[in-house]
């Protein structure tokens, strides 16, 4: 059993804590927040010790792994410092998305984990659902043939008017990660950004991608939609068929080109336990624990979080400079 702690006791820190408390592979032992009342409230809820200083927690508690669920600018600026401290203390570290809001710092986080010989994972929870795994198996089995196009939509409502890039950095690690999960590494990016007359930040985007395998992708993103009727849709077309994965985990359909029969997986209300978006966190955190326990490299690694962020940063450069941007310009050639 792994001894774990959570740093950052907001809504998402409490979600991580809840998952650790329920997972048979983990024992939640501590939580930390610079806001005393937040740390105290989480500690009381889960019956663990509260800390208000990460250094003190790392010195006082025997933990194997830590979740960094801080936020900050673009929902990612505050991840860097506590993540490096956890890694330097030899702790496996699961950081919320985006890995950071700064590409150079994100690179440093990934490099530091490698130097310290510990794992860094990112909470790219949208890919940790059985339907996405099934769709990826279809690709691996050749049921789509050669993968040609990926059409992705992720749109929710979020009225935060902070940094101009808040929508891109805070939200689209998820969508880019799901696209990369199905289509592999991205080679080139070009982007258009816009907003409605009532907004100032770039709350709408179309980001075009060319993948290393030659597949083309398009991401339509928005912070100006209503989530009532679903937030996410991913469609992948190949030479033998296409699939549509609707709303992260609700419905998956495979349309073979040579048959009228459609394969469909639906979310059953008869499944065990209450089913909700929380399941994405449960699955992601359980996989993290399982892989740490087995000493395996982790899925949804820091490197994958970094590569998702690089696509977003490339989109920002593309928008500024009105050109397509190579990922290698930002990350160097793939090792």
> Which CB atom, from 59 or from 264, has the smaller least distance to ligand NAD?
59
Of the candidates 263, 154, 174, 156, the one whose C-alpha atom is nearest the C-alpha of residue 219 is 154
Instruction: Give the DSSP per-residue string, 157-218.
Output: B----SSTTHHHHHHHHHHHHHHHHHH--EEEEEEEEE--TT--S--EEEEEEEETTS-EEE
Q: What's the min distance (Å) between Cβ of 171 and ligand NAD?
A: 8
> Which CB atom, from 97 or from 195, has the smaller least distance to ligand NAD?
97
Q: What's the min distance (Å) between Cβ of 129 and ligand NAD?
A: 12
CB 91 within 8 A of CB 66: yes
Q: What's the min distance (Å) between Cβ of 175 and ligand NAD?
A: 12
> Which CB atom, from 69 or from 190, has the smaller least distance to ligand NAD?
69
Q: What's the min distance (Å) between Cβ of 127 and ligand NAD?
A: 11
> Which CB atom, from 129 or from 237, has the smaller least distance to ligand NAD?
129
Q: What's the min distance (Å) between Cβ of 241 and ligand NAD?
A: 30
CB 101 within 8 A of CB 313: no
CB 34 within 8 A of CB 10: no
> Which CB atom, from 49 or from 240, has the smaller least distance to ligand NAD?
49
Instruction: Give the DSSP per-residue string, 46-73.
Output: HT-EEES-HHHHHHH---SEEEE----G
Applying CB under 6 A, the residues found at the interface with ligand NAD are 7-13, 32-35, 38, 54, 69-71, 75-76, 78, 81-82, 96-97, 123, 125, 170
Pairwise CA distance, residues 275 & 120, whole Å: 28
Q: What's the min distance (Å) between Cβ of 205 and ligand NAD?
A: 17
> Which CB atom, from 11 or from 24, has the smaller least distance to ligand NAD?
11
Using Cβ positions, the residue closest to ligand NAD within the complex turns out to be: 10
Pairwise CA distance, residues 125 & 44, whole Å: 26
């Amino acid at each position: 059993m792994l001894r774990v702690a959570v740093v950052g006791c907001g809504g998402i820190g409490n979600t991580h804590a809840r998952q650790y408390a329920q997972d048979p592979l983990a024992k939640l032992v501590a939580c930390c927040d610079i806001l005393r009342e937040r740390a105290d409230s989480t500690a009381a809820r889960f019956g663990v010790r509260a800390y208000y200083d990460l250094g003190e927690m790392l010195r006082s508690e025997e933990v194997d792994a830590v979740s960094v669920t801080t936020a900050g600018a673009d929902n990612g600026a505050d991840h860097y410092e506590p993540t490096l401290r956890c890694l330097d203390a030899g702790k496996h570290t699961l950081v919320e998305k985006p890995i950071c809001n700064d590409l150079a710092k994100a690179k440093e986080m990934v490099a530091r984990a490698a130097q310290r010989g510990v794992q860094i994972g990112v909470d790219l929870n949208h890919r940790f659902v059985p339907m996405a795994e099934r769709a990826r198996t279809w690709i691996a089995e050749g049921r789509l043939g050669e993968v040609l196009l990926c059409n992705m939509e992720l749109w929710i409502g979020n009225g935060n008017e902070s940094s101009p890039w808040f929508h891109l950095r805070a939200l689209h690690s998820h969508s880019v990660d799901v696209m990369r999960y199905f289509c592999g590494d991205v080679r080139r990016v070009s982007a258009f950004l816009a907003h409605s007359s009532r907004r100032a930040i770039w709350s709408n985007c179309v980001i075009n991608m060319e993948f290393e395998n030659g597949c083309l992708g398009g991401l339509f993103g928005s912070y100006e939609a209503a989530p009532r009727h679903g937030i996410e849709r991913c469609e992948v077309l190949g030479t033998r068929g296409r699939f549509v994965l609707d709303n992260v985990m609700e419905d998956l359909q495979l349309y073979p080109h040579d048959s009228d029969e459609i394969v469909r997986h639906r979310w059953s209300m008869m499944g065990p336990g209450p089913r909700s978006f929380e399941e994405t966190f449960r699955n992601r955190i359980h996989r993290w624990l399982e892989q740490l326990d087995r000493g395996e490299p982790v899925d949804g690694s820091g490197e994958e979080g970094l590569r998702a962020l690089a696509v977003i940063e490339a989109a920002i450069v593309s928008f500024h400079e009105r050109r397509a941007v190579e990922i290698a310009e930002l990350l160097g050639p793939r090792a």
